[in-house]
Amino acid sequence: MRKLGFLVLGMAAPLFAQDLSVWMPDSSSTSAWRRDFQARSGGNRSEDREYQRGLSALDAHRWDRAIESFEAVADRKGTDADAALYWKAYAESRAANREDALATLGELRRLYPSSRWVADAQALDVEVRAQAGSPVNPGAEADEEIKLIAINSLLQSDPSSALPALQKVLAGNSSVKVKEKALFVLTQNSSPEARKLLGTVAANSANPDLQMRAIRYVGLMGSDDARKELETLYSRSNDEHVKRAILQSFMRSGSRTFLVNAAKTEKSPELRAEAIRQLALSGGQDELWQLYQTSSSSEDKNAILKSMFLSHNTARLSELAKTEKDPQLRISAIRSLGLIHDGGTSETLVSIYKSDSHVEVKESVLNALFLQQNGKALVDIAKSEKDPQLKEKAVQKMSLLHSKEVTDYMLEVLK
């Protein structure tokens, strides 16, 4: 019966070869069954093997062998013939046989005009022509992505013609993705006009996604001009997203002066916190410390403490956990220390527990030691603590830990 089934399927194989996956449930056993079926049906297997051989040759950069394999597949005009022509042209272009490559791409377009490889074939065509030094015409390309490849080539040889074309793409109705790529192409040109255009896009709020990308690129310019441009943009903008993007750009450019200023003078607490965060990410520990000492806002101080934790500044956190007058800020510093398992933070926490008279602070130390899984320190505290409530809290915390010191102490208590 099974044999009969194979026979029927084998006869119908050419009809179903392309859409067989629709018939196949997703399991490895059916996969094996299908391979068996394909082997019996003969069909495209030899073509498929040749195609795979061509791909392996491409991966090994053995262009001649790849050309041979793909030519063989294309000649059979089977299901992979269009792909084979593309890869043949690709191998020819890499082997510097540009004329052959262009001819093969022409053949692909002529024989398989509706193939999904046609767009890539056109892009390869433009690339090969540019490599050969032939003039490219972005205006002649209907596909925006291919137009960009053409503009990119033209930008190197004739920027004065390429820039207006690029400007058109940026101002036109293309998708944001295409425009973002156009913006990248723009930055790879060194002319003042390209730089000016980048600044214009960065200042244009009509397309927020593109504006963010442009702001990022302006930040990457790293020049005084660019910093001034961003400062002006920051002061003029009312958009929080734009301002955040500018703060991030200043972090990337390593310019801390502006970030310190924004952290001090920005009216929005969220943006002040963002400036503080970016300052920490840019390595401005000294600036953060100065800011902490001069700030009168608990909110800002809290943001600075978080930033100190982000940059593992245990020295300052320890200092503040001991000396900060505001108990809530002390607790915040202690919590951060609890999340850092190095730099002698446990000793600091234990000493704070002993010296601080504030119950809430003591409880936060117990939490921090628990976060550090420091059973020994909790046992020591529980042994010496006279306040029954705090002692209970310490025992509660240690009951959730698994360590020898904790087990021994628990057994001692039970006795």
Q: Which positions lie near another protein, rule CB under 8 A?
A: 18-22, 24, 26, 28, 31, 34-35, 38, 48, 52, 55-56, 58-59, 79, 83, 86, 90, 116-117, 120, 123, 127, 145, 148-149, 152-153, 156, 177, 181, 184-185, 187-192, 194-196, 198-199, 216-217, 220-223, 225-226, 229, 252
Question: Is residue 317 within 8 Å of residue 346, measured between CB atoms?
Answer: no
Shortest Cβ 145–another protein spacing (Å): 5
Q: What kind and span of H or E run contains 291?
A: helix 285-294
Q: For residue 130, what are its two tokens?
A: 């540019």
> Is the CB of 230 or the CB of 368 nearer to another protein?
230
Dump the DSSP string for 126-153.
Answer: HHHHHHTT----GGG--SHHHHHHHHHH
Tokens at 354, concatenated: 């002993």
Residue closest to 327 by CA, chosen among 273, 300, 354, 364: 364
Q: Which CB, 113 or 344, lies closer to another protein?
A: 113
Give the torsion sign (CA, 216, 219, 221, 222): negative
Smallest distance from the beta carbon of 319 to another protein, in angstroms? 28
Euclidean distance between CA atoms 160 and 271, whole angstroms: 40
Task: Tell me the C-alpha to C-alpha distance, in Å, between residue 211 and each of 20, 128, 187.
Answer: 47, 33, 14
Q: CB 317 → another protein: shortest distance, Å?
A: 25
Task: Give least dist CB 241 to another protein, A.
Answer: 18
CB of residue 250 to another protein, shortest distance in Å = 14
Nearer to another protein, 19 or 342 (CB): 19
Q: Which is nearer to another protein, 56 or 257 (CB)?
A: 56
Helix (H) or strand (E) holding 366: helix 359-371
Residue 21 or residue 265: which is nearer to another protein going by CB?
21
Per the CB < 8 A criterion, the answer to whether 214 and 198 are in contact is: yes
Compute the least distance from the CB of residue 153 to another protein, in Å. 8
Cβ 307 to another protein shortest distance, Å: 19
Q: Specify the residue, 223 or 297, whose C-beta has the smaller distance to another protein.
A: 223
Residue 187, CA atoms < 13 Å, CB-side half-sphere: 18
The minimum distance between CB 193 and another protein, in angstroms, equals 8
Helix (H, G, I), strand (E, B) or coil at 241: helix
Rounded to whole angstroms, how far apart are CA atoms 34 and 26? 11
Backbone φ/ψ region at 188: left (φ over 0), alpha (ψ -120 to 50), beta: alpha
- For residue 121, the one-letter residue type is A
Sign, CA dihedral 25-30-32-36, equals negative
Taking the least distance from each CB to another protein, the nearer of 116 and 358 is 116
- Nearest distance, CB of residue 305 and another protein, angstroms: 26
- If the CB atoms of residues 36 and 387 are measured against another protein, the closer one turns out to be 36
Q: How far apart are the first and last CA of the chain?
A: 77
Question: Which one-letter amino acid corresponds to residue 295?
Answer: S
Specify the residue, 24 or 140, whose C-beta has the smaller distance to another protein.
24
